[in-house]
Each structure stands twice: as C-alpha cells, then as structure tokens.
Amino acid sequence: MLTQDQAAAIFRRLRQYSTAEEVEVYFYGGKSALTRFANNTIHQNVAEENYGVSVRTVFGGRTARATTNKLDEESLRRVVQASEALAKVQQPDPDLLPVPSAGEGAPAGGPSRHFASTAAITPEARAEAVKKIVGVAEKHKLTTAGIFSTSDSVDGVFNSRGLSTWHTQTSSEISITMLATDSSGWQKANSPDARNLDAVSLAEIAAQKARDSARPREIAPGKYTVILEPAAVLDMAGFMFWDFAGSAILDQRSFLNGRVGSKLFGDNINIWDDVSHPLQSGAPHDGEGTPRQRLQLVENGVVQRLVYARATAKKVQNSEFKDHVGPIAPTGHGFLLPNEMGEAPMNIVFAGPQNPKSLEQMIASTERGILVTRLWYIREVDPFEKILTGMTRDGTFYVENGKVQYGIRNFRFNQSLIQMFSNVDEMGAPVRASGEESFDMVAPAMKVRDFNFTEVTRF
C-alpha cells in the first residue's frame, strides 16, 4: 500500500518539477477485489491495485488539474507539465482562493476506519461466504446472484503551503438477490469492518422475501401508508442532498432557494452531516484537505443551513442570498478543484426518535398499507418540489390488520420528498443502510402515510 511518507516523497519531487505559484496534489487508490456470483455459481473474481496522483497547479488565478496512475519519474514530470500547460491557457478565475494552509487542514484523529482483518480477506474467504449464500438459496430452492467485494484504500491531499492530510480505510460489501419463478428478494450491506457483515443472515432475509412474495397479486394503485425499509428511505433521500450546497443556491438550482429557515418537513425529521459518526465512513477532509464539520442540516423539520467549499462560502457571503441561507462559512464539503459540482454533504445521518419502532411494530400498527424492501430506477420529475418517480422491487407486500398478507406486483410511484418527510408517522432506529440509487447513509425505516403509487407494473 502507498504510505503517507511515500506520498510525501512523491509530492516533494513533483514540486521540484513545477514552476507554478501553487501546487496541490491529491493521492488516491489502493487494493480492491470482487467475487461475483450468479445462477448459484461464482463466475468472476477480480483484483486490482492502483494509485492515482492528481496534480493541480496555479498561475495568477488560472488553475487546472492533470492525473496519472504511473509513479515513475518521467510520468510524474509529465503530469506536472500537463497540469501547467492546461492552467496557463485557462481564463483567470476571480473567485479562486489560495490553497489552504497547514493550519486549515484536517486534524489527526477521528474514528479508525481501517481494519486489518478486512484488508486481509482472501479470494478463498469470499468464496466461502458465497458458498454459504448459495447453500441458503439451494435450501429454499431459489437461484441467487450478487457480489462480495473488499477494498483497502488511501486518500490524501498535500499542497505547497504545508498542508498534509492522509486517510486510510477498508471497505466490504455484500449484495444478494434471491430469485424464484415469479418473485425475488434482496439484501445489501456495507461496512469498513467485514465482521459486521453476516452473509448467511442477509441471504436468509433475501430468501424469505422471495418466498413470501411468490405468486404476487395485483392491487389498485393509489395513496397508501407505506413502510419503507432503510434502503428505500436512503434511495429516495439521496436525491435532495445535492441541493444542500451553497453553489446550488448560487445557481438557483436548489429546492432550498428561498426555503432555508423554513419548515419543510415534519417535526420528527432531524438530519445531520457527520463524518465522525461511528456508522459512517469516508475521509475526515474534503477535496482541498479542509476538515469536514459536523452540521445539523435539518432540525425538527426546519432547514437550518447549507454546506460550503471555501470559495463558495466567500461567493455566497458577497451575494444577494447572504441574508437568507443561515450561517455561511467553509464547512469542508468541497470536491476536487476545478469542478462543476461545488460541494455536498456526503455523510448523512438521520437522528432517530426517542422511542424507535421495529419493522414488526410498524407492520402491527398498520391497518392497510404496503411494505417496501427497496426502490429502483428513480428519476427526478420536479426539481423544486422534489417529486421523484421510480418503482418498487425485490419484495413488495400488502399489509392488512397489522400483518403481512401476501406479495403484490410492483408499483411505479410519483412522490414529493417534501411531502414524504412531512408524513412520517413512525421511525425505526437508524442503521447503516445501503441501496442502489444513492450513497450509503445512516437511516431508519419509516412508516409514511399517503405515499402516491400511480401504476402497477407487470412483475
């Protein structure tokens, strides 16, 4: 693995090759491996070790970036030359700030997200886990497909003003789909520590969903009380957090334009961005090396604040929006410069209720409703009202008189996120959740009234 000392030595060599006023280098990469299975058989195992060096240079307000994954001297020299050549032909950016100083960098410490036992997982160990998953499928006369992946990665920023940050992390992920003749079930989990993943438990849940949703019945579309499992909650919620950026306000492309400080959601909705949360993952610094702050974005349904990269905070402070967006300051949520994305909160944590309900309790308190395992193919219909459309998948059930009655054909939905988070009647305890349409979050299951299903699918 590339170490911080090795990266520092590479950075010193890169600086020697540069004539720029400022130099910033982002290091990334590591080892990754994946075991893929389908039709109850492993059909692919891949492994890779790769490191990238991304160099940004600055000349009089002009900046550009060039990247290489070759670390020999000639390649390092050429990547600096490419960055400088690109920077010199750019238009000066009046909003470009000097690279942050050493004192502005992310401090050492924070939760460890590197686990030697995860980094040491072998293809044989992944294959053994898949064997157990296949065993569950065969026991229930089902067909299974999915992945088991692991990685060991590094992430660091160095610049010519003395800033140096470094983050190491392991990751592991299991995704399982169980297939029957006319039904399916699914489960997915991700963690920096592979010991938190229970392949057999995930497989049993996915198998149970496939079996219980067999011979699905068709019921009429309409507005129903829904019980959304955490994966379904995060795949919906993920569509709104890019709007919590100062740059989105400046571009007037955020559903929060004119709404910061307003009550948009129910009293029970409290949302944080918190990279230090024990169930979260990722580096404690942003693309410039500045520390990510812990922020409460939504308090009792009221949108309290946005996140900012350094330059965005300065631009918003000098804009017409400055008195209407809450506190304005760099929060450590920027991406690599230059970019068109600005910033975004990427470590979302939903705060749970004082008395969280289990999924079974939510079902028991439901007179008539729909249990949703997950959602897919989600697209935005109305950016300002945050209306999304998509479909249910891999375990959709009809609930009546406090019990799951039978599997049903999947629905298409058209649903406003604002209304959805205003209609949450019950919540579970937040868990680290994984979906397919958004990044991982710490999110609870939710019982939501008047969820709008518009059409029945054919499966």
Q: Which ranges in 354-416 belong to alpha helices (H)?
A: 359-364
Pairing of strands 424-427, 446-456: antiparallel
Q: Note the pTM of the prediction, 2 decimals.
A: 0.95
Cβ contacts of 74 within 8 Å, gap of 6 or more = none
DSSP 56-96: EEEETTEEEEEEES--SHHHHHHHHHHHHHHHHTSPP-TTP
pLDDT in tens, 303-353: 999 999 999 999 999 999 999 999 999 999 999 999 998 999 999 999 999
Q: Give me the amino acid identity at 398.
A: Y
The top-level CATH class assigned to 4-205 is: alpha beta
What pLDDT sits at residue 80? 98
Q: In the predicted model, what is the mean pLDDT of residues 365-381? A: 97
Pairing of strands 403-407, 164-179: unpaired
What pLDDT sits at residue 109? 64
Q: In this structure, are residues 158 and 22 in contact, taking their beta carbons and an 8 Å threshold? A: no
What would the two tokens of residue 25 be? 């280098």
What pLDDT sits at residue 198? 98
Closest C-alpha to 332, from 272, 283, 299, 296: 283
Distance CA 450, CA 111 (A): 40
Please state the domain extents for the chain: 4-205, 216-459
Q: In this structure, are residues 297 and 345 in contact, taking their beta carbons and an 8 Å threshold? A: yes
Pairing of strands 446-456, 411-416: antiparallel
User: Quick one: what percent of the chain has pLDDT higher than 90?
Assistant: 97
pLDDT in tens, 148-191: 999 999 999 999 999 999 999 999 999 999 999 999 999 999 99
